[in-house]
Structure 1
Amino acid sequence: MGSVKRLADEVARGLREVHPRLRKTVVNKLALAVGAMIEGQTPNTVELANLLPLDTERQDLREQWLRRLLKNPRLGPGMVIEPFARAELAKAASHGQTVLLSLDQTDLGDRMALLMVALRVGDRAIPLAWRAEEGAANLGFAGQQVVLEPLLAWAAVRGARAAIGGPVLSVGGPVRVAPSPGLELPAAPEEQRANGYRAGR
């Protein structure tokens, strides 16, 4: 058994535990893709296709297999990661300590902007939510709000408020968002400030 298949088996076991209703074929395919990504340490789909333990040597069929998987409507990133994110947020706030979320944006040339929120754990970060848009531009407050709002639901805290660059989610204790250097933090519109959102360092 190859290393990708061994990794995929472990990933599939974890996915079945948190997503018991997800179709077995979808779980197994997603696990193979994740196993290939762990093994190759790359998100490049061409390289990942080469690592997949499939019964074909044709590169075009391998890439087609991966593209179809990534377009599967059952595999929205929020849906897949939600149970893991809920567990990590609960664990991080289990003793009432301050939870730090990192807000980071990366521009891939002039093709795409990626915004990610990650849970800081020591010197490492665990990605919890992200958003990608075409074009090289700061996603602004609206995009940041879309990424942050699911965390409120996952934290399951009544009356929790969000802010960027200040205290954010009350997940059993204070939670702060730390924006990456150079990330613009525009002032939230008046109606959003009225709903508990604000921006600032």
Structure 2
Amino acid sequence: MSAEQEPARARRSERARSAILAATAELVSEVPYPRLTIEAIAARAGVGKQTIYRWWPSRGSVVFDAILELSGGPEGSGLPDTGDIAADLRLFLRSTVAEMAEPRFDGFLRALYVEIQQDPALAEGYRTQLLEPQRRVVRDRLQRGVEAGQLRDDVDLELAVDLLVGPVQMRWSLGLSGLTEDYADALLDLVLAALVTR
């Protein structure tokens, strides 16, 4: 392949990859998950099935990459650091409940949860590429709160992360109503009562 052909091929590949991820995102919000097939994604993206299988081994892996793209990567949401730990965590929890209540993101997560129950490699990718980096962002913000004297210096940071995000994830996974800003604020007030320096 000539030097001129290589960049053109790379551009075509990137266009195809973007089209596949965009098609997956559209279909997740449009069709029941059993109908989200590789064939449907290929047809929507305007590519052949073999193009998808060249980059992804399964439907679940395409969904996973599409959700990473949608969320801006494993640390896409980040955490603010204004110096006020309560205000920063409040903004984080409010944005988390809003995101999980948003229909398109909800559809992605439920689709991904189906797949990780059946695919150990995908489950490992979910833990290492999405879940653990997101937890690390929260843990690091809590650590800075400890260092600033805003949180107790004996706080178990991993347990504190569980206390902040676990109830939201549990309420979402059970399909319970009430993922609202008021819920996020009440949860944070309860957690901070245990974590703040007295």
TM-score by length of 2: 0.38
When you count strand as a share of all residues, which structure comes out higher? 1
Instruction: Give the TM-score, by structure 1 length.
Output: 0.38
Give the structure, 1 or 2, with the largest relative contact order (CA under 8 Å, sep 6 or more): 2
**Structure in which a larger fraction of residues adopt helix:** 2
Larger-Rg structure: 2
